[in-house]
Amino acid sequence: MPGKHVHFEFPATPSPTYSSSSLPSSYGPMTPPPISQFGSSASYKSTIPLPAVPTQVHPALGFSSAPLLNWDTSCLPTTASPYHSSLSPTILGESAFNPCLPYVTIISAYLPWKITVKPTSGKYVRVMDVLDAIYRGLRLNVSGPEFEALPSMEAKKRVNAAYHRRCARIADAAARSVEQGKGVKRIDFLAEHNKFMGLSSTPYGPQTWTLNVS
């Protein structure tokens, strides 16, 4: 793979390799067991071996209190804009990790599901692949048993409130009615925490990263 795809032009954001770092869940303790098999690493296998050296996330995706990308995860990835004035638009096509990774699993303290990121083209995960997988994963509908598995009534109220706020933002009445009819989606489990704060590494290996939101 050409070096221009994996060279990071900006200083890396603090994200120690294989260290656990995530924002606390307002729902109380909530680990991400696979309620469904969506996004489990078992659903995607690559013939490319994972790197045996420390893996670095692209600065545009790295966890930081001042992330380089301004993105509301409830909106399309194309709405993401750079905070950093010299962040080139070409970064969306760059490798999301160095060394390159053939797939990535994303977990979150707010979500009981995993999200698997696969390359949309080529053999390695790009920055846009990560954003797109997060967006698509959060747009999936929540089943009744998944909703009932929330740890408390307070958590259910937060999710319901997020669902109603999300639908209320739709200006067109017909489109709003259609969206309401679809019910709660996974994005609603983030409650008011929709702002993308980047990915941080975990103790589970170079292929598993934590989604941080605020």
pLDDT in tens, 76-133: 998 888 877 666 778 889 999 999 999 999 999 999 999 999 999 999 999 999 999 9
Q: What CA–CA distance (Å, rounded) separates 111 from 170? A: 24
Residue 30 CB neighbours (<10 A): 18
- Would you state the pLDDT for residue 184? 97
Q: Is the pLDDT of residue 15 over 50?
A: no
Alpha-carbon 93 to chain mean position = 17
Residue 171 CB neighbours (<10 A): 7
Domain extents in the chain: 1-8+34-214
pLDDT in tens, 146-184: 999 999 999 999 999 999 999 999 999 999 999 999 999
Q: Is the pLDDT of residue 193 over 50?
A: yes
Report the pLDDT averaged over residues 38-62: 61
- Which is higher by pLDDT, 122 or 10? 122
Instruction: Of 69, 63, 54, 28, give the one whose Cα is nearest residue 191.
Output: 28
Tokens of 156: 């259910």
pTM: 0.77
Contacts for 23-28: CB closer than 8 Å, 24+ residues apart: 23/109, 23/193, 23/197, 23/212, 23/213, 23/214, 24/109, 25/109, 25/110, 26/158, 26/191, 26/193, 27/110, 27/150, 27/151, 27/152, 27/154, 27/155, 27/158, 28/151, 28/152, 28/155
- Would you state the pLDDT for residue 82? 83
Bridging pattern class, strands 104-107 and 115-117: antiparallel
pLDDT in tens, 70-92: 999 999 998 888 877 666 778 88
**Mean residue pLDDT across the chain:** 80
Q: Is the pLDDT of residue 194 over 60?
A: yes
